[in-house]
Structure 1
């Protein structure tokens, strides 16, 4: 193993990272600094986390509040692209990884560490996301991935490892599901979900009400958008994070934002997860509603192409790349005229834009009406169609000659 003196570990307080601290000290003979990213996973996840890290053997524990920055600088730019992975996944875990890795690198440079460490398994996407960010931001630092090195292969082994060293942990063998949460979403994997023929049960959903149990009366929320960013909800100006928290509560009450998906991981394995993104689903619907008014056909088509490419870049951990920056810049430019107000109806798991308006709207009732108008000459369409279909006409005439 390469010699390192001080390593900064991306620490969550869970079983894996609690075992990683003593393992690093024993196998690398190094000082371990725990780094905790507060990305809105909830107070329960963070309660007592510093004490837990120190009890596991860390020399220090730094907690960074990244909630506002994550929503403003990572989620909102992603929303402008329209990125949705494989048609359903709103990239909840993916969008949190770049900012966590960036803040971890900044912590490492500040404390004079010569190595970085994460607790991602060798089967998942997160190892790629973290290490790609490390490579882009601090290639001089050594990267340690314990799950690719140690021989601890089960929850029982990790618990025994900690017990042998008299390191306290609240983890137990009863944990069935693997969960990951931040302000944008919560994911649930494992348990009954590992068999795709099993239906999800109530334990697979954490934030949102079952749509069948949601209120029988619809609720409406009003969203104000400026340059592709939500700036006010229900008439009240809000920061990006405040807006997300507010809409999370509204959406969760009505069962909005649930998906049960089998996705293609970057490493080639398919995995199944139940994801809940209540506020994000509302935000996405609101932005797309204003885009429908503002973007012309070619611009909308281009934005859709950005969305597809961006979804893979973000999912694959390529946030800190020139291509990703270029796509974000293009989406941001298209969003300059995406201003307006949307009223959305929340009901039984569905969110529907029922009213929308924009000062930049290209929709004209005068032109679109099915009634009599004085602005459009129907006879003009004939010449347009003849030229538009000219290549098809010539091809057909050639076939007739043959």
Structure 2
């Protein structure tokens, strides 16, 4: 085994990473620095600090990354209207490169030669973490305990915890719990009954959104202000990126916006089923498309829609720091120069519907589209030549086929 002098561990404070912390100390016999990213997951972070202190960790880093997460990762992704496989708003995927960025930064700061994560060998997160580290600093080694140790079952995991006096919460002692990932953009839940896609997800899986049947019977109208493709205000009130997303999460959760029951294709090659709740992201996606509809040129909008699946797939597969993602981001960001204005939406029992949009940079012309007499000259006869030219190849094709 390669000699390791110091490791920075991405630590959640949960059972898995608490066991990993002890395993790293035993296996490598070196100092382990603990890093916990506050991405708005809603959990108390101080218990994680207390667990690390009990394990003898001297250097504990709990870093508030909420504003950076939203402004530098979520918003650039939303400018692209990114959806993986047409549905998933990439809530877990977009958080991993930010965590990896700070893992690498702390490793450089403290002189660590390795970083470690708690992702399993079956999932996407191991790929996302490690590709990001490769891109940011290939000299840093990555330790993935789930691919190295001899623990092969949940029972063995609990036995290891008992042997090393690692506290096991009562809700972790019985059957395998749901696996939950949460941050300011979303909550995802996997495992237990959800592993069978034929079974209906139980109501208690949903944490951020009320049942549509229990949502208010009256709709709520909100107006979102945009500047250069990014949301900047709600109902005329300017807020920071993280504060805005928090507000939209509350609004969407109250009206059951943003629920998704999805079977997706993991990069590693298997299908998985999960329940996603992305209330604020769903509102922002609808609003962003609304403001783009009047500010983007037709060809530019269609080109964005063509590259979006590729862009979303790059994020899902862990290539946030890859040159091709950065190239696509430059194109997307250039398209947003005039995507400014206001969009009004109606939130009602699971839906976020655009009902009006306005922009000082609008390309929409009421004089052109009106059925009444227009102030702008438009010769209807021009359409005849336009149609004949576009129909030329179809007439040739039909003649050849004997139609």
Corresponding residue for 2:191? 190
Is 1:269 the equivalent of 2:270?
Answer: yes
Corresponding residue for 2:388? 386
Q: Deviations over 1:107-149 (max 9, x none)?
A: 1111110111100000000000000001011111111100001
Q: What number of residue pairs does the alignment pair up?
A: 400
SS in 2 for 1:167: coil
Residues of 1 paired with 2:164 and 2:260: CA distance? 41
Instruction: Report which stretch shifted further, 363-372 or 226-235.
Output: 363-372
- Give the gaps of 5 or more residues in structure 1: none
Structure 1 residue 187: Cα displacement: 0.3
Structure 1 residue 39: Cα displacement: 0.7
SS in 2 for 1:77: helix
Contact 1:55 1:168 in 2 (8 A): no
Structure 1 residue 398: Cα displacement: 4.2
Contact 1:117 1:143 in 2 (8 A): yes
Q: Deviations over 1:345-383 (max 9, x none)?
A: 100010001111111111111111233435322111001
Corresponding residue for 2:55? 56
Residues of 2 paired with 1:241 and 1:291: CA distance? 22
Report 1:198-213 matches (<5 A): 198-213=199-214
Corresponding residue for 2:368? 367
Corresponding residue for 2:33? 33
Residues of 2 paired with 1:310 and 1:173: CA distance? 41
Is 1:118 the equivalent of 2:117?
Answer: yes
- Give the gaps of 5 or more residues in structure 2: none
Contact 1:108 1:115 in 2 (8 A): yes
Residues of 2 paired with 1:302 and 1:122: CA distance? 36
Is 1:225 the equivalent of 2:207?
Answer: no
Residues of 1 paired with 2:181 and 2:148: CA distance? 23
Q: Deviations over 1:268-303 (max 9, x none)?
A: 010000000001111111100011111122111111
Corresponding residue for 1:332? 333
Residues of 1 paired with 2:295 and 2:307: CA distance? 17
Residues of 2 paired with 1:144 and 1:54: CA distance? 22
- When the two structures are superposed, what TM-score results if normalisation uses the length of structure 2? 0.96
SS in 2 for 1:12: coil
SS in 1 for 2:94: helix
Report 1:132-211 matches (<5 A): 132-170=131-169, 172-174=172-174, 176-211=177-212
Corresponding residue for 2:397? 395
Corresponding residue for 2:13? 13
Corresponding residue for 1:215? 216
Contact 1:105 1:137 in 2 (8 A): yes
Residues of 1 paired with 2:279 and 2:384: CA distance? 47
Contact 1:86 1:263 in 2 (8 A): yes
Residues of 1 paired with 2:34 and 2:204: CA distance? 31
Residues of 1 paired with 2:153 and 2:217: CA distance? 45
Structure 1 residue 328: Cα displacement: 0.8
Contact 1:105 1:134 in 2 (8 A): yes
Residues of 2 paired with 1:18 and 1:187: CA distance? 21
SS in 1 for 2:275: strand
Instruction: Report which stretch shifted further, 27-36 or 266-275.
Output: 27-36
Residues of 2 paired with 1:3 and 1:203: CA distance? 46
Instruction: Report which stretch shifted further, 187-196 or 124-133.
Output: 187-196
Structure 1 residue 220: Cα displacement: 0.9
Instruction: Report which stretch shifted further, 257-266 or 392-401.
Output: 392-401
SS in 2 for 1:336: coil
SS in 2 for 1:93: coil
Residues of 1 paired with 2:154 and 2:67: CA distance? 34
Is 1:103 the equivalent of 2:102?
Answer: yes
Structure 1 residue 234: Cα displacement: 1.0
Contact 1:306 1:331 in 2 (8 A): no
